[in-house]
Amino acid sequence: MFQLLHRINSVSASTWWAVACGLVVGGLVGCDPGPQPAAPRPAAPAPEAPRQTSQVRCDEILKSALEQLEPRSLGITADTDSVIRYLREWTGRCGGRNKTFEVPKSFVDAMTDPERENLGALKYGVRDIEVLREAALFKLVATSITATAKTDAEKVSLVFDHVVRTVAMAPASMGVLPFTAADRYLVGVGSGRDRVMVLAGILRQLRIETLAIEFPVSDDPSNLPTLAGVLLDGELRLYEPTLGEPVRINRRDQSSPVVSLRELLTTPSILESYAGLRGELARLKPEDLAKARLACVGQASLWSQRMQDLQQSIAGVDAVTAAEFLADSELGPGLLSRVAKAGGDGFAAEKVVPWSYVSGLIPKRDRPDEVQQRQLYFLTGAWAAPFNVGQDENGQPKLGTPTRAFLRLRLALASGGAEEALAAFPSEVILPCRALRMMSLPDEVRFQAEDAANESSYWMALCQFDRGAMRVAVDGCDRYLRAARQAMLVSVLQTAGADVPRQKIAALETAFEEAFRLPGDKSLAQVLEAATQVVLGRPANDAQRRTLVFLEGVYRRIGAMQLLKAKALAAQNDREAALKTLQSVPVTDAAAVEAAALRSVWTDAPEAKTPEKEDGTPASKTDEQPAVEKPPEKAAAENAAEGEKAEKKDDTD
């Protein structure tokens, strides 16, 4: 893999996007390469009067459409155009039999022009398919992770924790990418706002409404402090998406109830518990709380009359939720009235707006710029892997079709097929991808294979955590971290420009272990570069620096893996080991914000009693005193000195 690291960044954005569209995404995100000449738009036809069709035939048409939205076919066999044709046929033959309700004018006025056009469209389109796909996927996710919950509050707690683990925080440098909520869930990386979007999508399938609560404290609408507000028992309960925890009066008391929006507005002192943390509430002052704004999470399709009609036709206990009814009607108060009442004094239904973050993603989804195209490929390239490989007439490897085994197994995990995915990831993805990276194939294909193998290891560890197999999860995290460390060590040695004595190789390996264990306040690449300079006795060269930075991106789950490992250790009541692991999260890593939040809670909270073996000795802790931590640079210098001593001894011998 290391020979392609420096060439891979030279591939043009158009090439990346061609691979992503042709081999990877398969309908999950848009593949329009850029602006196209606008075709004349015909006048909207008058709605057809539904033809008389038997209910049996109507159900058959609808079933044919919905079957193609089965989550395991996303991006693999699903045909968006076919689904749209079925739904349009259903509308022409069977639509209009259900009562629909208007969307309040104040809500429509707050929409963007494209969203208003989508809201009023008479025919089903791509945006509707996105909503239905998301609903189908999140229905299975919600059912799987809340199977043991007895109350709505328990369901929300389980879903929120699951979203926080699944959607790891992305670095700010990644920017805003035009993923749908379902894409974000499958990719497993995003911002705090992306977590709110995914949380709302999953809870919608449990018929629990979630709002984005924004605080307009600056002139930049793209960077406003945002909380998730979940409607429970007539109150909007608050969740901090960036820190990954519920909002509590005393956040160090994890048994205290989740704060409501009403309580936050009347008790500004709650903010004191969040001072010093790099979360959403830490950005607020007491006077900012009065600026809170309620926003519905979704795109216009959710509130359209065509989706209301469809929703009533698939109604039932097990049906997906693909529409929301905003206005008051003879059926009862609409969503806007309910959430406004839950917000407390100062909120009104006509002040609830659609969330601009979601609507702002849609144009970018259709026509991402070159930077976004590159990032999209970087995050979704693994979905096509591994590839079938044959031989050409000269006996050389010839690239065949993508198997999309990684995407299929990722979808299996999301759909409750943990056993299948855990059994198949090693044989169907990891081993074939490790073999592909050694073949003479295009650089981007070898990168996809390497990334798929790494991502498979990550999702397996996360799955074991979700299943309660904490020791197995810890082992999985350690394997990923060892692989990342070894890859970086080998790359530094291969680009050293000269043979490195074996004593210095051993010293460098130890120095890298120290850097991974205690990176300090620098990026991991910077710490490893400094350790390389100390051990080898000369500054790192350009090739070594570029390679370390690139591999830090390739193994982008390092911080998330350390965080997951810490949580697994804490779940085994090994708080001391968990706190040490949190120190291994680089301060510059996106996971550092959550790591700091957990550290502040675990440091002050009493540790649970350690389980005992039958002979009465601790099951997972020892009586050893913790070693004094040394900065990686100092440890590297000491290791280098030891290596030089060993070299002199060898020369003497």
Confidence of residue 27 (pLDDT cuts 50, 70, 90): very low
Tell me: pLDDT of 417 over 50: yes
Instruction: Report helix, strand or coil for 292.
Output: coil
Tell me: pLDDT of 572 over 70: yes
Tell me: pLDDT of 41 over 60: no
Q: What pLDDT, on a 0 to 100 scale, did the predictor assign at position 638?
A: 53
Mean pLDDT of 600-625: 50
DSSP 286: G
Contact 280, 193 (CB under 8 A): no
What digits encode the pLDDT tens for the residues 585-598?
A: 999 999 999 999 99
What is the C-alpha to C-alpha distance for residues 232 and 235, in angstroms, rounded to an integer?
A: 5
Q: What pLDDT, on a 0 to 100 scale, did the predictor assign at position 288?
A: 94
Mean pLDDT of 387-397: 87
Mean pLDDT of 293-313: 93
Least confidently predicted of 372-386, 470-484, 556-570: 372-386
Confidence of residue 371 (pLDDT cuts 50, 70, 90): confident
What digits encode the pLDDT tens for the residues 450-463?
A: 999 999 999 999 99
What is the C-alpha to C-alpha distance for residues 255 and 273, in angstroms, rounded to an integer?
A: 15
Confidence of residue 70 (pLDDT cuts 50, 70, 90): confident
Mean pLDDT of 5-24: 38
Say if strands 168-169 and 397-402 run parallel, antiparallel, or are unpaired: unpaired
Would you list the DSSP string of 281-349?
Answer: GGG--GGGGGG-EEEE-S-GGGGSHHHHHHHHHS-STT--------S-BTTB--HHHHHHHHH-TT--G
Q: What pLDDT, on a 0 to 100 scale, did the predictor assign at position 581?
A: 96
What is the C-alpha to C-alpha distance for residues 423 and 404, in angstroms, rounded to an integer?
A: 16
Mean pLDDT of 110-135: 93
Q: What pLDDT, on a 0 to 100 scale, did the predictor assign at position 93?
A: 85
Contact 213, 344 (CB under 8 A): no
- List helix spans (H) across 146-206: 152-166, 181-187, 192-204
Amino acid at 213: I
Q: What pLDDT, on a 0 to 100 scale, did the predictor assign at position 211?
A: 96
Query: How many C-beta atoms surround the C-beta of residue 444 within 10 A?
Result: 20
What is the C-alpha to C-alpha distance for residues 584 and 567, in angstroms, rounded to an integer?
A: 13
CB-based burial, 294-329: b 16+ in 10 Å, e otherwise: bbbbbbbbbbbbbbbbbbebbeeeeebbbbbbbbbe
> pTM (2 decimals)?
0.85
Confidence of residue 12 (pLDDT cuts 50, 70, 90): very low
Mean pLDDT for all residues in the chain: 83
Contact 563, 595 (CB under 8 A): yes
